[in-house]
Structure 1
Amino acid sequence: MTSIAESVNSVAPVELVEHAPAVRRALPDTVGRALADAEIVEATRDPYSPGHWSLRAGSKVGAVTVTVPGGAPLTVRVTPKVPIVRLFFLLGYSLDRKGSWRDGEVEVAEHRDLVPALAHAVERQVDRSLRRGLLQGYQATEATALVIRGRLREAEQIRRRFGAGLPVEVAYDEFTTDIAENRILRTAVERLLRLPGVPHEVRRRLLHQRGRLADVTAIVRGQPIPAWQPTRLNARYHPALHLARAVLDGFSAEHAPGGLRVDGFLFDMNKLFEDFVTVALRDACCGTGHTARLQDPHHLDEAAAIRMKPDFVLYGPDGTPCAVVDAKYKAEKRGGYPDDDLYQMLAYCTALGLREGHLVYAKGNAAHAAHTVRHAGIVIHQHALDLDQEPTGVLTDIEQIALRLVNTPRV
């Protein structure tokens, strides 16, 4: 079985690097507009050369395929600047910091592109989860039957049967493999099988996993992902479920007007970095008597008309805010950090009544900096987190930032 991108009719893929200079490419206008409208990449039509587009990748990494009716599919691949093994460390920690799965277990280091590494990781974790057979559980079921099973749905029986004895409307709990955990795994496998760039051997193994889950209902697109609760009984599923959820939360297939189809998977590195930093800081502050809240809602003004949601707010033992953090994946200016972030942090500190605020960046062009705001005395710290180092080094740097947060002087 071949993917869309591997079709004999496909054209040469567009290869981009996250936040790298733009690439100029001849494209049908429908494809260029689809890339721009879906915010896959920054796509700009060349006004002086009809049929040519300038394509520049932002913070979304992965691969998508755009198919126009009657035209050859075009695959766009965006490679992250962060090594794949580091990306999976960030993802794994933010999803499951207790270490249920690690990059060494899924051998992501041998894959240079995100989609092959992700497909390989999911397949290996699904295989480990299903080695002792499919998990079973009780599923609430409502049905029409010729015999009473479970309990009679009296109101439904009267409404639909008008007093007739048969058939009967019943409700019962069925012990089955068609439960939320298996449905999530099945749907993630199905999603990966549709992605461009999945290696043949990994695709073959994914098909095998789909066969093992053949009696499980896949989640229909548009339906909410069913909830599941971590328990001792489903513990062997935890790593696969966390990773499968990342697949389902990623960019998916869409149908655009005119039969245009966009199919693929993208990680937003901004969101991934933010999730990692806030979860790691929360863990590092644990046990200090402080409480951390992520995406904590507040208001800037007295009338509570202007909402703001800092990525991370730390509260002291007395329940009052003592530190605020915002995570920024990229410093966008060659000269260092963007000034807009300073203004945003100043607003956070002012509204929360704090003397210090902290911005955490993925390491860019500037080292740690601190700015004291005139006539306010507020100090805004800018931290640079080096993602190229080993995971232990990254977490050590996080712990140093957390120590500063806990010891922030109060107003």
Structure 2
Amino acid sequence: MIRRTIREWESLPYGDGAQQIPASLADKLAAVAAGSSLAGRGGGGVLEHGRHALRARGVVGVLAVQGCTLEILPKIEILADTPAAQTTDQQNAAIRRRLIHMLAVALDLKIDTGLITELEFQRETLLEILIRIFCEKLADAVRQGMPRRYLQHEDDLAALRGTLNTTRQFTRHAVNPSQLACRFDILSEDITLNRVMKVAVGQLSRLSRSPANQRRLRELSFVYAEITDVPVSALRWDDVVIDRTNRRWQELFGMARLFLQNRYQSTTGGAGQGTALLFEMNALFEEYIGRLLMRAVAGTGTSVSLQGGRLYCLAAQDSQRGLFQTKPDILIRCAGIVTHVIDTKWKRLSARIDDPKQGVAQADIYQMMAYSQLYGAARLTLLYPHHAGLGDVEAIHARHQISGSDVILETASIDVSDSRNMLDRLRLLLAGGAFVTGTTE
């Protein structure tokens, strides 16, 4: 089994060289990537299939085909507490840990990585680590008892149980009163929540290449042997209700959705070619920052909404029908009034002194000006991930006044490689402050 790890926008050479993967495997990886919903119209949104190399784009995760696994990690610079001599494996391990943290926040999951050793973070792929966490949590939950629910059941019995189904009794058993058409409830484990878990276990058994994870999944499959096996497309997700009786299953249900149908990912293969677990970093970064901001302002009277607003730029004169709907990434409201619009950008902010625009796209500026006009916000922020080229200070790097108005448009960065004091750092960002990265609790 060939295993390779690259980062966003890096290339994986293929061919007959010693460090290259065979061209046949590269073709299979590219085919699986092109089948993903994140691949875009041209099919190259995940991997660019060049003549001599596969080049990753802004999508991370794992692509697996027979004989080869390709892991794509985000281009996160590990700035805090990073020894200069840190190896590539150690850097990749730190990035996997940070990516799992971002997924946990974005998807509102309580993923505990405490059971995973640093060696396992270096040795295993993102997918195998997530599978390990899921298996550990599921095994612990099953030991405490599988969730059950009363389900309505009908049967013909010699003695009455529950209530009598009079319609069935006086039609089918009109001449045979020894049988009673009964309708009654049974406390059953064969419910949708358990069916979701069984499907997830089966799916992960096909995805995992780790012997240890395969063993864990086989043990779990025995537990769910009596649960009805249904295809992913037939799962009734809306039928699952998380309440006080099954609260401990909330995170497991969220992780199952992550593996089976989450909006960030695609698990498509096409004709059995392979599988994929993929996440678009633009969407993940936006959700991660947005949810942290919600926590940061909780209880202050300030509210945060993600992909809200949805006002239209234009209205047709004849019908007043709205055209060109806007969906700002993050809206900050005080007393119900939009005061601040934040647009997250998963790209590098330039630090060149000869580039006053800092590499900011002109279309992004036009978009922010439209938000200001529509939502009346006096402050606009383009928020980027911090990197070493911007220095040790994650902060507001530039402020500009929009011509003819008092509206301020600023560019800022946040260090996603360091989760310490993240809520305080975001509060300081909202207040317009600056600080040094790597601060302690």
* TM-score computed with the length of structure 1 as normaliser: 0.78
- What does 1:300-311 align with in structure 2 at a 5 Å threshold? 300-302=313-315, 303=320, 304-311=322-329
Q: CA deviation at 1:14?
A: 5.0
In the superposition, relative to structure 1, how do residues 106 and 210 fare at CA in structure 2: closer, same or farther (>3 Å)? Answer: farther
Hey, what does 1:57 align to over in structure 2?
Answer: 56
2:72 to 51, 75, 78: 78
> Structure 2: how far apart are the matches of 1:128 and 1:260?
32
* Superposition misfits of 4+ residues, deviation over 6 angstroms: 151-155, 166-171
Cα deviation code 1:327-349 (max 9, x no counterpart): 22222768544313222222212
Considering only CA atoms, is the larger Rg found in Structure 1 or Structure 2? 2
Q: CA deviation at 1:278?
A: 0.7
State the percentage of identical aligned residues. Answer: 23
Amino acid of the structure 2 residue aligned with 1:308? T
Number of residue-to-residue matches in the alignment: 371
- What does 1:186-225 align with in structure 2 at a 5 Å threshold? 186-197=198-209, 199-224=210-235
In the superposition, relative to structure 1, how do residues 333 and 214 fare at CA in structure 2: closer, same or farther (>3 Å)? Answer: farther
Hey, what does 1:18 align to over in structure 2?
Answer: 8
Cα deviation code 1:347-380 (max 9, x no counterpart): 2122111121122222244463222222344222
Q: CA deviation at 1:386?
A: 0.5
In the superposition, relative to structure 1, how do residues 372 and 232 fare at CA in structure 2: closer, same or farther (>3 Å)? Answer: same
Task: Decide whether the 8 Å contact of 1:61 with 1:114 is kept in 2.
Answer: no
> Structure 1: how far apart are the matches of 2:347 and 2:220?
38
> Structure 1: how far apart are the matches of 2:108 and 2:304?
18
Hey, what does 2:82 align to over in structure 1?
Answer: none
Q: Structure 1: give runs of 5+ residues left out of the alignment.
A: 1-5, 7-11, 47-51, 68-72, 406-411
- What does 1:120-269 align with in structure 2 at a 5 Å threshold? 120-139=132-151, 141=152, 145-147=155-157, 163-165=171-173, 173-197=185-209, 199-224=210-235, 226-227=237-238, 228-249=240-261, 251-256=265-270, 259=271, 261-269=273-281
Give the secondary-structure state (helix, strand or coil) at the position aligned to 2:344. strand
Correspondence 1:299 to 2:318? no
In the superposition, relative to structure 1, how do residues 287 and 142 fare at CA in structure 2: closer, same or farther (>3 Å)? Answer: same
Q: CA deviation at 1:114?
A: 0.6
Q: CA deviation at 1:204?
A: 0.6
In the superposition, relative to structure 1, how do residues 372 and 37 fare at CA in structure 2: closer, same or farther (>3 Å)? Answer: farther
> Structure 2: how far apart are the matches of 1:254 and 1:33?
10
Amino acid of the structure 1 residue aligned with 2:141? S
In the superposition, relative to structure 1, how do residues 221 and 231 fare at CA in structure 2: closer, same or farther (>3 Å)? Answer: closer
Which stretch of the first structure deviates more once superposed, 342-351 or 16-25? 16-25
Amino acid of the structure 1 residue aligned with 2:425? D
Task: Decide whether the 8 Å contact of 1:92 with 1:102 is kept in 2.
Answer: no
Hey, what does 1:408 align to over in structure 2?
Answer: none
Q: CA deviation at 1:168?
A: 9.5
Hey, what does 1:27 align to over in structure 2?
Answer: 23
> Structure 2: how far apart are the matches of 1:331 and 1:149?
68
> Structure 2: how far apart are the matches of 1:261 and 1:379?
51
Give the secondary-structure state (helix, strand or coil) at the position aligned to 2:422. helix
Hey, what does 1:387 align to over in structure 2?
Answer: 416
2:365 to 327, 334, 342: 342
2:47 to 42, 47, 50: 42
Task: Decide whether the 8 Å contact of 1:84 with 1:114 is kept in 2.
Answer: yes
Hey, what does 1:3 align to over in structure 2?
Answer: none
In the superposition, relative to structure 1, how do residues 87 and 150 fare at CA in structure 2: closer, same or farther (>3 Å)? Answer: farther
> Structure 2: how far apart are the matches of 1:331 and 1:344?
18
Amino acid of the structure 2 residue aligned with 1:310? P
Q: Structure 2: give runs of 5+ residues left out of the alignment.
A: 16-21, 40-44, 77-94, 353-357, 434-441
Amino acid of the structure 1 residue aligned with 2:221? R
Give the secondary-structure state (helix, strand or coil) at the position aligned to 1:103. coil
Hey, what does 2:112 align to over in structure 1?
Answer: 102
